[in-house]
């Protein structure tokens, strides 16, 4: 692993630890709110999408037949990843918050700490391998 890959891998957990440290700021601080919103909207999802990146890239997007845009595949894959990052982040945050509510232990600090720990663990997980494409009968090509 190169140092650049390590830095990219550690950005989402760093955002979580930064959001946790923002609790030291005063209530209602714009910086505190911004740090939490950015992490909750992108942090956990970015770590999870990084894990399944090769599996997502195994099947590239197919463009429209009548018009061939040379950058369609790249733009479509980028948009897919960005939307997955946001949706996965929101879904994980909702599940974690629901667990804390169900156990009568809900607080913003606990939810943020749990999400930061999950993001840190996901950042250390290896990437999934892409499986070979399958035919109609389910056998590999």
pLDDT in tens, 62-72: 656 556 666 76
Q: Which residue has the tokens 């140092």?
A: 3
- Classify 134 as helix, strand or coil: strand
Mean pLDDT of 27-42: 90
The residues with which 100 forms a beta bridge, in sequence order, are none
30 CB burial (10 A radius; 0-12, 13-18, 19+): exposed
Binned at pLDDT 50, 70 and 90, residue 102 comes out as very high
- pLDDT tens string 42-88: 999 999 988 887 777 666 666 565 566 667 667 777 888 899 999 99
C-alpha radius of gyration, the chain, whole number: 18
Token pair for 88: 């996965």
């Amino acid at each position: 692993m190169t140092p650049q890959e390590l830095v990219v891998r550690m950005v989402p957990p760093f955002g979580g630890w930064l959001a946790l440290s923002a609790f030291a700021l005063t209530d209602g601080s714009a910086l505190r709110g911004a740090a939490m919103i950015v992490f909750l909207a992108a942090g956990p999802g970015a770590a999870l999408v990084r894990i399944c990146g090769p599996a997502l890239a195994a099947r590239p997007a197919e463009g429209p037949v009548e018009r061939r845009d040379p950058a369609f595949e790249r733009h479509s894959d980028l948009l897919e990843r960005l939307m997955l990052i946001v949706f996965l982040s929101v879904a994980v945050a909702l599940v974690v918050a629901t667990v804390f509510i169900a156990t009568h232990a809900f607080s913003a600090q606990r939810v943020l700490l749990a999400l930061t720990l999950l993001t840190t663990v996901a950042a250390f997980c290896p990437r999934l391998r892409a499986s070979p494409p399958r035919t109609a009968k389910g056998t590999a090509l």
